[in-house]
Amino acid sequence: MDPQRYLNVDSWQFRPSSAFNSPFWTTNSGAPVWNNNSSLTVGARGPILLEDYHLIEKLAQFDRERIPERVVHARGASAKGFFEVTHDISNLTCADFLRAPGVQTPVIVRFSTVIHERGSPETLRDPRGFAVKFYTREGNFDLVGNNFPVFFIRDGIKFPDMVHALKPNPKSHIQENWRILDFFSHHPESLHMFTFLFDDVGVPADYRHMDGSGVNTYTLINKSGKAHYVKFHWRPTCGVKNLLEEEAIKVGGSNHSHATKDLYDSIAAGNYPEWKLFIQTIDPDYEDRFDFDPVDVTKTWPEDIIPLQPVGRLVLNKNIDNFFAENEQLAFCPAIVVPGIHYSDDKLLQTRIFSYADTQRHRLGPNYLMLPANAPKSAHHNNHHEGFMNFMHRDEEVNYFPSRYDPVGHAEKFPIPQPILTGRREKCVIGKENNFKQPGERYRSFDPDRQERFICRWVDALSDPRVTHEIRSIWISYWAQSDKSLGQKIASRLNLKPNI
């Protein structure tokens, strides 16, 4: 054996990769392993020796294979592809990856369920995550959203309690309706989200046949500094398909990973999933003209007033190479934006800016952005260094800024929103809650059969024996305020009287 044949003295230049595999077994440090089948013992049947370093390393590594699963969005599937601009919106944003039609940007997308564990069935009634990481020339842009355009709550301070209510009972580890209905009975802002969750779209047929949404309100800024609020929407070119209750039971009973398999098999067969990206924009100068707050995440922007504008297309044409590296270690954060795209004062977005990066630092370590799936493809430079699992080779002597020995300086200034902010420090709700109008409009948009299924799901949920008369009455009141006939129908089937 010629050791030089397998030695690359400059291997520190490369991230660890299977491309540099040895043709024989080795330890993590590269030492050859001549027997990977038998432990080192005293004699043929004697006790195992602690000095069998390869055995100890192998077991210790195996014991630590599982990283903490995500608190939410634990169950997911990923794929890679590209985003292509099809329509010019350079008048709205100076984002480089949106600079002109025809521009393509590599992406990785992760779809997921939200509440249940990593091995849970993909047929459960649950929101679906729809997260897109754009590897742009100006760094990464993470568009982290769901398949629904709204959310349960508008202020992130409620998020831990909301997730606790939706998660299984900590005593029995069973998800129970009485806990969910109890919590959300205190938050009528959740009604709009429930018109999606308890609708047919609550169980997508698979990941290819569902909408996506950025959910939160962001801001686009053009070269002159003009800002517009923006909502992002993904629409599948193959249409939206869902599973009704009996279909979901049948599909889930035969394969609890049906959506992951469908995504993988479709791409492998060359049937590449595709979505069109649309945006809606509002000039902040006119935000007070609506009967809702444009940055309220429990509201949609009416398309007849604020039309959808086409932007581009998303094509997933490559399966991931490794599930752990490109799905479990794949990490998103709404704070990761690029010049030309900024945040808004959306209260939920403001809290997500902190919480998403924080949870990834807990799950994957402080250097999670060095992992290949999360690292930018563009050149980058900063003085963040050391810490757990830092595998970036650095040989510079100057790790501070500024320095006369290091020519690296500030980037060219780019525009960000410049509103003048005034107000008292206070904890309060927004001025235009308007919790009932849009849920009622959405319910009335359903055809009669779809309305009937929606009603049946609510009657079933409210029939939980641990749901109290008070909680049932509150929910009936909420639905009656959204649509009088809806409240009456639910009440009559529960032998209750609506109390508005």
- The C-alpha torsion from 123 through 127 and 128 to 131, rounded to 10°, is -170
Burial 245-260 (b: 16+ CB within 10 A, else e): eeebeebbeeebebbb
Rg (C-alpha) for the chain, rounded Å, is 26
218 is in an annotated binding site: no
Q: Provide the CA 274 distance to its chain's centre, in angstroms.
A: 18
**Own/partner long-range contacts of 347-351 (Cβ < 8 Å, ≥24 apart):** 347/154, 347/155, 347/156, 347/295, 347/297, 347/430, 348/151, 348/153, 348/154, 348/155, 348/156, 348/159, 348/216, 348/297, 349/216, 349/217, 349/218, 349/295, 349/297, 350/156, 351/155, 351/156, 351/157, 351/159
Q: Which residues are catalytic?
A: 73, 146
- The per-residue DSSP string of 18-62 comes to GGG--SS-B-TT--B-S-SSS--BSSSSSPBPTT-HHHHHHHHHH
Q: Where are the alpha helices (DSSP H) in 403-483?
A: 437-445, 448-462, 469-482
> Residue ranges for the binding site?
356
> Residue ranges for the binding site for heme?
356
